[in-house]
Amino acid sequence: MEQERAEITQRFLGADIGGTNIRVGVVDEGGRILGEARRPALAETGLRAAVDRAIDAMFEAVEGAGLSVRDIAAVGAGIPGGHRSREGICVYSPNFADSRGVQVLQPIREALDLPAFMLNDVAVQTLGEYRFGAGRGYTQMVMITLGTGIGGGAIVDGELRVGPTEGFAEVGHMTIDPDGPLCQCGNRGCWEAFAGREAIVRRAVLKIQRGRQTAIAEMVDYRLGSITPALIARSADAGDEVAVEVLEETGNYLGIGIANLIQLYNPEVFVIGGGIAQAGRWLFEPIIRTVRARAHMVPASTCRIVPSELGDDAGIIGASVLARVELGRSREEPAPPTSGDVPSELPPEESAA
Ligand SMILES: [Zn+2]
């Protein structure tokens, strides 16, 4: 990777198009953010409209960096869900209304006249952490992000693992307990049905309904629907016993899935990102304890389990890494295979330098 550091330092646009917020950054080859812009995702207006807002933010970010679009080498974008990324098409994105079959890259390429690439958002964050964050210096890495669901990405022998349906992202739907709770995907006992946002909140609500005394209930004025994982984490920090228990139980289930992934992938480092990961030791201690207790054949001691280093920046930095890697690849093999009905906007011999 380093040997292609030829003439000038290239700059990329990285877009993190989430279901709540859109963040765009101009990022240089060293992972430094030179300018950025944000927009609300307004997911209910659909993915195509969100892409337009992202394009708008791209122009603002470039201007904020004191650059012009001609100074940018390529665009990368991370979007939740599953995609036919090489064709620029979203297959599904549960976060957005009306996402099926939406062409994401073509409008970006047309608006900026730049090569553009996309991938699942967690895959993109994994690239960011691998290149510039907690995975730096390793060649085998697994990352998960904890949010509404559990998303994942894997680096195998220094390459992002991208299967034919970009499926590693759906690691949250591996079965942890065949008789477990019903998951929104239709399966029973999925990992995220135990450790996703809803499961964490439900755990706290059940304890309160069973009469346990906790500051959590007072903090939401006994409107239990308003409980959030962040609030539970804060209560744990303040010494609330029920909050600590909720995170302990959640960490236990997280540890089971992480132990499974360590047995499968034998990573050197396991990175945990996403909002709930900020619950810190309340979550990491039970996770590490459970992994040690369950991972034997590939001992947990061979794998560091660490929080994300890039935090909220993993999305835009990772998207810039995607842009750089894919731009290099597209120059090696000029025409990526497309399904035929989608015109490839990639110029055959792009020389941005
Ligand atoms: Zn599921």
Q: Quick check: 9 pLDDT over 90?
A: no
> 19-25 long-range CB contacts below 8 Å, 24 or more apart?
19/43, 19/80, 19/93, 19/95, 19/96, 22/50, 22/53, 22/54, 22/57, 23/57, 23/312, 23/315, 23/316, 24/54, 24/57, 24/58, 24/60, 24/61, 24/316, 25/61, 25/313, 25/316, 25/317, 25/320
Report CA(60)–ligand 1 centroid distance (Å).
38
Report CA(150)–ligand 1 centroid distance (Å).
10
Q: Quick check: 249 pLDDT over 50?
A: yes
Report CA(174)–ligand 1 centroid distance (Å).
7
Report CA(296)–ligand 1 centroid distance (Å).
26
Task: List the end-to-end C-alpha distance of the chain, in Å, as a whole number.
Answer: 17
pLDDT digits (tens, 9 = 90+) for 103-125: 999 999 999 999 999 999 999 99
> Quick one: pLDDT band at residue 2, thresholds 50, 70, 90?
very low
Q: Which helix (H) or strand (E) holds 75?
A: strand 72-79
Q: What per-residue confidence (pLDDT) applies to 301?
A: 83
Q: What is the mean pLDDT of residues 31-49?
A: 96
Per-domain residue ranges of the chain: 2-126+312-332, 137-309
- Asked: is 2-126+312-332 a CATH 3.30.420.40 domain? The reply is yes
Q: What per-residue confidence (pLDDT) applies to 8?
A: 62
pLDDT digits (tens, 9 = 90+) for 229-243: 989 999 999 999 999
Report CA(48)–ligand 1 centroid distance (Å).
26
Report CA(322)–ligand 1 centroid distance (Å).
27
Report CA(194)–ligand 1 centroid distance (Å).
10
Determine what percent of the chain is predicted with pLDDT higher than 90. 80
Report CA(37)–ligand 1 centroid distance (Å).
34
Report CA(181)–ligand 1 centroid distance (Å).
10
Q: What per-residue confidence (pLDDT) applies to 340?
A: 44
Which pair of tokens denotes residue 294?
A: 């369950």
- What dihedral angle (degrees, nearest 10) is formed by the CA atoms of 16, 169, 318, 102? -40
Report CA(147)–ligand 1 centroid distance (Å).
14
Name 43's Cβ contacts closer than 8 Å, sequence gap at least 6. 19, 20, 50, 95, 96, 97
Q: Which helix (H) or strand (E) holds 79?
A: strand 72-79
This prediction's pTM = 0.89
Examine domains 2-126+312-332 and 137-309 and report if their fold is the same. Answer: yes
Where does 137-309 sit in CATH, by number?
A: 3.30.420.40
Cα 138 to chain centroid, rounded = 19
Q: Quick check: 253 pLDDT over 80?
A: yes
Report CA(93)–ligand 1 centroid distance (Å).
15
pLDDT digits (tens, 9 = 90+) for 315-347: 999 999 999 999 999 988 765 555 444 444 444
The phi and psi torsions of 125 (rounded to 5 degrees) equal -60, -35
As a whole number, the mean pLDDT across the chain is 90
pLDDT digits (tens, 9 = 90+) for 296-320: 888 778 899 999 999 999 999 999 9
Report CA(335)–ligand 1 centroid distance (Å).
36
Write the DSSP symbol of residue 3.
G
pLDDT digits (tens, 9 = 90+) for 147-199: 888 999 999 999 999 888 787 888 999 999 999 999 988 999 999 999 999 99
Report CA(171)–ligand 1 centroid distance (Å).
9
Report CA(149)–ligand 1 centroid distance (Å).
9
Q: What is the mean pLDDT of residues 80-109?
A: 94
Report CA(173)–ligand 1 centroid distance (Å).
4
Q: What per-residue confidence (pLDDT) applies to 335?
A: 59
pLDDT digits (tens, 9 = 90+) for 276-294: 887 788 999 999 999 999 9
